[in-house]
A and B are shown apart, each in its own frame.
Chain A
Amino acid sequence: MAKNTIGGTKTSIKKIATYVGLSIVFLIYMFPFIFTIINSFKEKKEIIKTPLKLFSEKGLNLDNFVKAYEKMDFLKAFTNSMIVTVSATAIVIILAAMTAYYFVRINNKISKIFFALMVASMIIPFQAIMIPLVSIYGAKLNLLNSRATLIFMHVGFAISMSVFIFHGFIKSSIPIALEEAAFLEGCSRTRTFFQVILPLLKPTTATLVILNVLAFWNDFLLPSLVLTKDKLLTLPLSTYKFYGTYSADLGTIMAALVLTVAPILVLYIFLQKYIISGVVSGAVKS
């Protein structure tokens, strides 16, 4: 009996120590966000003098946010990011699912060669392609400064990984008997794909939507090479530009950073379970 109690205290002390340690590490991880938010309510003078003070002298002063929202044209940048992210994600998912389905079911030479090419291309970093990309689409074809070009490029770069993950899922989990039944009933291949196969791909689709949305929404280098016109800038681009122009105006900068981060954090609060499991299955599969 006595021995049990001692063992019990020992584990509970260990548990408390674990919690204390974890909480400290957690605070360190949250530290940059906390101080950015705190200071977004302060005036420049106050930030420079006392960046550590938890509450602003003026309380919840939203002036910085109003100014940042207007000056960085937040709504336009947000809309641009939405248009690019949503269309690129939708297109890449549909095209990747169809291509992967083709690769699995029509096992000819073309399928084998292109599947191998796609898998191999996944290790090519974007920087190894960006210079010729700009020279082809800029100097030769003059297609830069257009949302459609950016969306097309996002699709081209993201499709390999999406095809790879769909390929694995279709091959292992979609029984061919289902399609054969649909064919026997006179369904065309296209209709069979959209009405029978695509709905079955839902779990993989969810994973890929999450991975692609995060990648497109946050991408900086590719959009910065494609888009230069102010009215087309996505959120990361307009934040970068804003920072360069207003870097002396600390309060507004802090508010702009909070505004930029806010949409994705709000989404994360509601979808954290899906986002985390999506990221894990994406990483483990590829």
Chain B
Amino acid sequence: MGIKSRKESLKVFGIFALPGLFAFVAVVIIPFLYGLYLTFTSWDGISSETNIIGFANYVNVFKDTEFWKSLLLTLKYVVCSVVLVNVVAFFLGYVLTSKIKGVGFFRTGFFTPNLIGGVVLGFIWQFIFSRVLVSIGTTTGIDFLSSSFLADPTKAFWAMVIVTVWQTSGYMMLIYIAGFTGISADVMEAASIDGATGFQKLKSVTIPLMMPSFVICIFLTLSRCFMVYDLNLSLTGGEPYGTTIMSAMHVYNKAFTSRQYGVGQAEALILFLMVALISGVQIYLGKRKEVEA
């Protein structure tokens, strides 16, 4: 392999691995560990001294009802979004892999929202919800639309879900398309010969074979939705009356607005552990259901 001496191997490490590892350790590992330490201090973001206060921050997290409220809301949002995103994306992927023309055009269009950052999308939809839909509502007499979605707590929540489904489904659709294209024509033909109808084929052949795609898509939507911030900030800003503040926004405000860095970091860690646990269980369960064609 061309490496002879210890000096030589150090040199190779220094040239090839060290720069990349330095950035990784300095930006991810050290802050992560320092974050653990922060949760045991009462740092306010300004003062130079940090006092160790033991588990007081964690006790405060349990007393922080706003945090648990935001977490509950986030869970509700995650469940609604994950289900709807994947149903829509699966359906789009299914239709776009049945032999029709113009597939590329539709695929390109459905994916477009993914190219744009959450902040800008949130602003665009704010205009749609507060002006365009209201105008449609008043001209057509549909009561449901005639007042802004963003002024009502429940409707504002659904506004978040709608924009998330609109944005994320195009991305997941691409993964489902890759999955559908991977199913061999022989298997489908065999099912047809055995007399399976379209729906039976979908239920007993396609869906089991698509398990790997489901696992990836659900994992990606789960972790994206749990940490939603940009869209929350620009679409609802937590309004009306702070009813749509999701966990990530709550953590941000706790640390950078209320200057309770220790409590904020403890909440961020709890959030991280929850996401890791839920996606771990999801991947484990999904992998168990995977079948070979």
Contact = CB atoms under 8 A, between A and B. Distances in A.
Contact of B28 (A110, A124, A220): A124
Nearest to B227: A125
Interface stretch (A1-9, A66-74, A98-106, A201-209): A98-106
Interface in A130-184: 130-136, 139, 152-153, 155-157, 159-160, 163, 183
A128 to B, nearest CB: 4
Contact of A254 (B96, B110, B127): B127
Nearest to A184: B2
Interface in A103-136: 103, 105-106, 110-111, 114, 117-118, 121, 123-136
Interface residues of B, number: 90
Contacts of A111: 17
A55 to B, nearest CB: 16
B119 interface: yes
A29 B234 contact: no
Given A22-B106, A102-B16, A156-B28, A128 B116 contact: no
Interface string B216-245: 100010010011011000100000000000
Contacts of A13: none
A35 B127 contact: yes
Nearest to B269: A128
A149 to B, nearest CB: 10
Interface string B54-69: 0000000000000000
B20 A163 contact: yes
Contact of A126 (B38, B178, B227): B227
Given A52-B135, A131-B264, A236 B32 contact: no
A98 B20 contact: yes
B170 A236 contact: no
A279 interface: yes
Contacts of A80: none
B195 interface: no
B269 to A, nearest CB: 6
Contact of B12 (A106, A133, A268): A106
A236 B12 contact: no
B29 A121 contact: yes
A95 B23 contact: yes
Given A128-B32, A159-B20, A26 B109 contact: yes
B107 interface: yes
B27 interface: yes
Contacts of B102: 19
Interface in B87-142: 92, 95-96, 98, 100, 102, 106-121, 123-125, 127-128, 131-132, 135-136, 139
Given A254-B127, A280-B178, A124 B106 contact: no
A139 B45 contact: yes
Given A152-B26, A280-B174, 16 more contacts: A15-B100, A18-B95, A51-B131, A98-B15, A102-B17, A106-B3, A111-B17, A117-B24, A121-B29, A127-B227, A127-B252, A128-B32, A129-B31, A189-B16, A220-B118, A240-B119
10 contacts: A15-B100, A25-B92, A47-B131, A125-B223, A129-B32, A132-B265, A153-B27, A236-B119, A253-B123, A283-B216
